A and B are shown apart, each in its own frame.
Chain A
Amino acid sequence: QKEVEQNSGPLSVPEGAIASLNCTYSDRGSQSFFWYRQYSGKSPELIMFIYSNGDKEDGRFTAQLNKASQYVSLLIRDSQPSDSATYLCALGGVASYDKVIFGPGTSLSVIP
């Protein structure tokens, strides 16, 4: 049974700071890792995916994956109030048809 754990938060950071969101997982066979952002009352939207160990950067977002330690993180630089949302960590298997399992989410609040 795959398990995904995240700190539920809320995580509060001042505007302009770096927000760090962490996720650990139990299944060493997981091959694909995703970060979704979900605004209140909206459906999740994909912001990052990562498959290989190391860092992947996209604008203000950096995903970090360490398969040996079974954790994946998301850094948000220059945090903005519009980044305030729940961030969901998710992981998939080897094949594209493997189901994706979601973590409980971390609530982020960026304080102006």
Chain B
Amino acid sequence: SAVISQKPSRDICQRGTSLTIQCQVDSQVTMMFWYRQQPGQSLTLIATANQGSEATYESGFVIDKFPISRPNLTFSTLTVSNMSPEDSSIYLCSVESTDTQYFGPGTRLTVL
């Protein structure tokens, strides 16, 4: 398995601002994934991040709104840009290890 940490664990932000979420893994991984879980909903994949290449975004998500960095094999960031209250959600980082996905503790974001 992989041990994943995320920062911040929660934040309250004003609309129109941006927040960058960090994800750190205790081992080198090829694939890192960013999910969103809105209140009472299941997980929705935002994008897949590979080291050394641009992230691949799912339908409904765009790079201008959710820019992602993947500078090395243990770290990634997700930025939520120009936030609105609709962006209030839990954002989860995930990695693939031994054919299984493991999740970080999540970042709970509230946009006022």
Contact = CB atoms under 8 A, between A and B. Distances in A.
Interface stretch (B12-20, B72-80, B81-89, B103-111): B103-111
> Chain B's interface: helix, strand, loop or mixed, by majority?
strand
A88 B43 contact: yes
Instruction: Name the interface size band of chain B.
Output: 20 to 34
A103 B31 CA distance: 21
Interface-centre pick from B31, B48, B100, B106 (highest chain A CB count, 10 A): B100
A102 B102 contact: no
Interface residues of A, number: 20
Interface string A46-88: 1001000000000000000000000000000000000000001
Interface in B26-44: 30-31, 33, 41-44
Given A43-B92, A97-B31, A104 B100 contact: no
B102 A104 contact: no
Contacts of A103: 42
B106 A99 contact: no
Given A32-B99, A34-B101, A99 B45 contact: yes
A89 B33 CA distance: 18
Contacts of B48: 97, 99
Given A88-B43, A104-B41, A104-B42, A99 B33 contact: yes
13 contacts: A42-B105, A43-B92, A43-B105, A43-B106, A49-B99, A88-B42, A96-B31, A97-B30, A97-B96, A99-B33, A102-B44, A103-B42, A104-B42
Interface of A: 32, 34, 42-46, 49, 88, 90, 92, 96-97, 99-105
